Amino acid sequence: MTIEKMTIEQWRREAPELRAKSEKALERFKPARRQKPRHPAEAEFLRRIGTPERLIGPTATEPE
C-alpha cells in the first residue's frame, strides 16, 4: 500500500468535485427511521432530551 501526499493547492482544486460526489451518494440514502417499537418510558425520556420523533419511532403498548 502506498501513501500519496497531497498539497493544499491540490486539495483545494479537488475539494468541490469530491464534495459533490459525496452529496450525490448521500442523497441516495433514506432518512433514518426506527421501525422497532420502543418501551413507552424510554420513548418519553428520549422526547424530554430532545430526540427527533423520527428516531424515537413507534411506542409499544404496555401489557396490562
pTM: 0.49
Query: Is residue 9 assigned to a domain?
Result: no
Q: Cell numbers of 17, please? A: 468535485
User: 36 is in which domain, residue-wise?
Assistant: 32-64
CA distances 44 to 4, 40, 55, 57, 59, Å, are 50, 6, 12, 11, 9
Domain count, the chain: 1
The sign of the torsion formed by the CA atoms of 48, 49, 51, 56 equals negative
Query: Is residue 57 assigned to a domain?
Result: yes
Contacts of residue 60, defined as CB under 8 A and 6 or more positions apart, other chains included, come to 37, 38, 39, 40
Per-residue pLDDT tens over the stretch 2-55: 888 989 999 999 999 999 999 999 989 887 777 889 999 999 999 999 999 988
Q: Which of 23, 48, 38 is nearest to 56 (CA)?
A: 38
